[in-house]
Chain A
Amino acid sequence: MSETSAQTPAVELAIRTERLTKIYGQRLIAVNDMNLEVPRGSVFGLLGPNGAGKTTTLRLLLGLQRPTAGRAEIFGKSCGPNAVAVRSQIGYLPTNPKLPEDLRPIEYLDLLGKLSRLPREVRKPRIASLLRDVGLLDATDQRIGTFSTGMCTRLGIAASLVGDPPLLLWDEPTAGLDPSARRFTLDLIRELGKTKTIVVATHILTDIDQVCDHLGVMHEGRMIFTGSMQDIRRRICRDDFTLELEGDPDNVSRLARETANLEGVEARVHDGRAEIQNSASLLVRIANGGSRTRALADVLRLVDACDLSLRAIHSGQNVTENAYLQLLQEDEAHGFHR
C-alpha cells in the first residue's frame, strides 16, 4: 500500500465505474470512457445538459442496457442485465415515470413489493406508510391513469422506496412538478440523504445546489468534473453580490462612486423596476483575492452613510451555475486535449 493511501482514510464507494462506454449502433456515443466514484452515504448530483448521457449512465448501472466497454459496480458487485442482487440494492425513479394506468396505487406498489420478494407482513405496512409519506393516501382508490404528473412522480418515488434500498437513482425527480411538489421532493431527498446514498440526475442547478453534497458534471458523454460541492464552488474566481436599495437616486449614484473607490471593488448601478419608485440595485464585484467579508462590511457602512435603506442582499449570481458554465466552456475549449 502506498504512503498516501495509508494516510488517507479509504472512502467506501456506493458506485464505481471504470472506463464505462456506451455507443448506440456505432453512431452515437452516449457515455464516453467514464470513470465515476460515488461515496456511500452521499447525495450525488449528476449534472449535465440534455443529451449529456445522464440517463444512459443510470440505465447502465441498472443493467437495462449493456456497456459497449468498461464496467460498473454497485457496492462492489458488477452491474448487468441479470445482476438481480445489485438491483435489489437500488431504487430507481425514471424521468416522468410511466406507470400501468389500469392499476391503483396500492396494487402497483404491491406488485413492486412482490418483485422485491417482500413477504406480505412487510409489504403491506410499508406500502401504507409510503403512500402516507408521499401524500397519496387520499388517492388510493383512483386509477393511476387519472393521476397528474406530480402524483405520478410521487408514486414513482414511493415505488423506488418499496424495497427499502440503500441506493436511490432518481432521474430528473423534479421535472414537470409545480413549486410545492418540487419543494416536497427536495425536502424528501434531504431527509432520505441522511440514511441512503442518492444519485440525482438533473440539469436543474438550483436542485443540485439545495440538496447535493457531491457533484459530477457530464458533458457529451464524459464526466468532466467530480468532487464535493465545496470543490466546485472553489473553482469560481469571481465573487460578487447585489444590494437592493431604496432611496434618492442621487444617493445611490454617490454610493456607487464611493464603493468603486474601495480597494479591489467594482460597483455598477442597475435602475430599479418602474413600478417601485426610488429603488435601485447595486452590483458589487470583488476582485480576485479580495476579502468578501471586509468588502461587504465597507459597502454596508457606505449604504448607511449615503442615507439609503437596504431591502435585500443577494449573492451576486448562482455560484454553482457559474462553475457549471465555466466547466462546460473549458471542456469545449479543450478540444483534442480532452
Chain B
Amino acid sequence: MDSTAKTAAFGTRMMPYLAILEHDLRALWASRLVRLWLLATAVMTLFLSAANWPKFQDATLIASLLFPYLVFPWFFVVVVLGVSPVSGARAEVLADGILSRPISRCEYLLAAWSARVLLVLGVYLVVTIPAIAVVTLARRPVPEDTVTLFGIVSVLAVVGLVLTFLVSLGFLVGTLLRKPLLAAVVLVFVWYPIGIVLNVFSLEEFSPISLSRAMSTQLRRPWRAPDVDAKGHAAAQDTDALTRQLDHFLSVFSTAQTKPAATRPEFFEGGTFNDFSLLRVTLGYGLPTLLAVVLAMLFFHWRDL
C-alpha cells in the first residue's frame, strides 16, 4: 500500500473521531458557559495585571495570573465542562443518536474528552499567553527579573496538565454518577480539601496551592539547570522521601507522632522551592489523568445507555 492510500485509510478510520471532536468543539464554543468563562478569565487577568503591575516582579506577577486556574475559581468551570458529555438525560439522548451509528464507545468518549481538553486549554492559553508576553516585554517600575522561556513554557505546561487532570476527573465522575449536578457537587467536595488529603500522604508538593507557590521559582529556572546533583544522590533522596511518606501515612492510623526529619526541611519549607521537580509533578498529574480516562472508558463500556 502506498503512502497516499495509507493516509486515505487512516483518514477514513479517524473520520468519526474527528467528526465528533469538531461537533463537540462547536457545541461547547456555542455554549454560554464557555463564552462567559472566556470573558471572565480575560477580565480577571486584566484586573490582576493592573492591580499588581507596579508591585510584583515578572515571575510573581505571572504566578498570580495563573493562580485562578490552579486554585480558585476556574477549576469549578473546568470540572463542570468535563462532567457534561455523557451525564444528564439530554446528553444521553444525544449520545444515543451517535452511539447507534457505526462508532465504538471508546472512540466517542475519547473524542468528547479531547474536545473538552482542547477547549479548556484553548481558553486558558488564549488569555494567559498574551498576558505573559505583555508582562515580560513591558517596562515596569519594578526591579528586573530573570524569568526564562523554559520557565514560562514549563509553568504553562504544568497548569495545562492540572486543567487536563480536572477535565478528566470531571469526565470520570460524570460517567460514574450520570447526574451532572451531583457530579459537580462531589467534585467540589473532593477538590477543595485536596491539599489536606495530599498532606496526609506527604504529597503536598502536588497540591494546587503548593504548585502556585512554586511557580515563581520555576519561572526563573533556566533550561538544563542541575535539577539534582547526581543520580545516586537523587535515588537516596527518593528512598528517604518514601520512608518519610510511609512513616507519615502510618502515623495517621496509629495516631503516633512522626519523628521530624532531622537532615533537611520538609518540602517547600525552605521557601525557595528549589526542590520543585517538573518530572514528579508531570507524573503526579499525568498518571492520574490517564487513569481517570481509562476508568471512564471502562465504566462507559460496561454501562447501559
Q: Are A82 and B15 in contact (CB under 8 A)?
A: no
Q: Which residues of chain A are within 8 angstroms of B305 by Cβ–Cβ distance?
A: 59, 64-65
Interface residue ranges of A102-154 to B (CB < 8 Å): 102-103, 111-112, 114-117, 119
Interface string of A57-86 (1 = CB under 8 A from B): 001001111100000000000000110110
26 cross-chain CB contacts under 8 A: A59-B305, A62-B100, A63-B99, A81-B104, A82-B301, A84-B102, A84-B104, A87-B102, A87-B103, A97-B97, A98-B90, A98-B93, A98-B94, A100-B27, A100-B94, A103-B23, A111-B19, A111-B23, A112-B101, A114-B18, A115-B15, A115-B16, A115-B102, A116-B101, A117-B102, A159-B97
Q: Which residues of chain B are within 8 angstroms of A100 by Cβ–Cβ distance?
A: 23, 27, 94, 97
Closest to B302 in A: A66
Q: Which residue of B23, B96, B102 has the most chain A CB atoms within 10 A of its CB atom?
A: B102
Q: Which residue of A59, A94, A98 has the most chain B CB atoms within 10 A of its CB atom?
A: A98
Bound-state Cα–Cα, A102 to B90, Å = 14
Q: Which residues of chain B are within 8 angstroms of A82 by Cβ–Cβ distance?
A: 104-106, 301
Closest to B14 in A: A117
Closest to B101 in A: A115
Q: Which one of B13, B90, B103 lies within 8 Å of A115 (CB-CB)?
A: B103
Bound-state Cα–Cα, A114 to B21, Å = 12
Q: Which residues of chain A are within 8 angstroms of B100 by Cβ–Cβ distance?
A: 62, 64, 87, 90, 92, 94
Q: Are A114 and B19 in contact (CB under 8 A)?
A: yes
Contacts A98-B93, A102-B30, A111-B20 supplied; 19 other A-B pairs, CB < 8 Å? A59-B305, A64-B96, A81-B105, A81-B301, A90-B100, A92-B100, A98-B97, A100-B94, A100-B97, A103-B23, A111-B23, A112-B101, A114-B19, A115-B19, A115-B101, A117-B12, A117-B102, A119-B12, A163-B101
Q: Which residues of chain B are within 8 angstroms of A114 by Cβ–Cβ distance?
A: 15-16, 18-19
Closest to B26 in A: A102
* Chain B contact residue count (CB 8 A cutoff): 29
Q: Which residues of chain A are within 8 angstroms of B18 by Cβ–Cβ distance?
A: 114
Closest to A102 in B: B30
B98 within 8 A of A: yes
Q: Which one of A66, A84, A98 lies within 8 Å of B304 (CB-CB)?
A: A66
Nearest CB on A from B13, distance (A): 8
- Residues on B lying within 8 angstroms of A by beta carbon are 12-13, 15-16, 18-20, 23, 26-27, 30, 90, 93-94, 96-106, 301-302, 304-305
Q: Which residues of chain A are within 8 angstroms of B99 by Cβ–Cβ distance?
A: 63-64
A88 within 8 A of B: yes
- Residues on A lying within 8 angstroms of B by beta carbon are 59, 62-66, 81-82, 84-85, 87-88, 90, 92, 94, 97-100, 102-103, 111-112, 114-117, 119, 159, 163
Bound-state Cα–Cα, A245 to B240, Å = 104
Nearest CB on A from B6, distance (A): 16
Q: Which residue of B12, B13, B30 has the most chain A CB atoms within 10 A of its CB atom?
A: B12
Q: Which residues of chain A are within 8 angstroms of B90 by Cβ–Cβ distance?
A: 98
Q: Which one of A85, A92, A117 lies within 8 Å of B15 (CB-CB)?
A: A117
Bound-state Cα–Cα, A8 to B103, Å = 38
- Given A64-B304, A64-B305, A82-B301, answer yes or no on A99-B15 (Cβ-Cβ < 8 Å): no
Q: Are B96 and A94 in contact (CB under 8 A)?
A: yes
Bound-state Cα–Cα, A92 to B96, Å = 10
Nearest CB on A from B81, distance (A): 17
Closest to A89 in B: B102
Nearest CB on A from B226, distance (A): 49
Bound-state Cα–Cα, A103 to B26, Å = 10
Bound-state Cα–Cα, A85 to B305, Å = 19
Q: Are B102 and A116 in contact (CB under 8 A)?
A: yes
Closest to B98 in A: A115
Q: Are B101 and A87 in contact (CB under 8 A)?
A: yes
Nearest CB on B from A75, distance (A): 14
Q: Which residues of chain A are within 8 angstroms of B106 by Cβ–Cβ distance?
A: 82
Nearest CB on B from A138, distance (A): 23
Bound-state Cα–Cα, A85 to B20, Å = 19
Nearest CB on B from A168, distance (A): 12
Nearest CB on A from B95, distance (A): 9
Bound-state Cα–Cα, A116 to B23, Å = 15
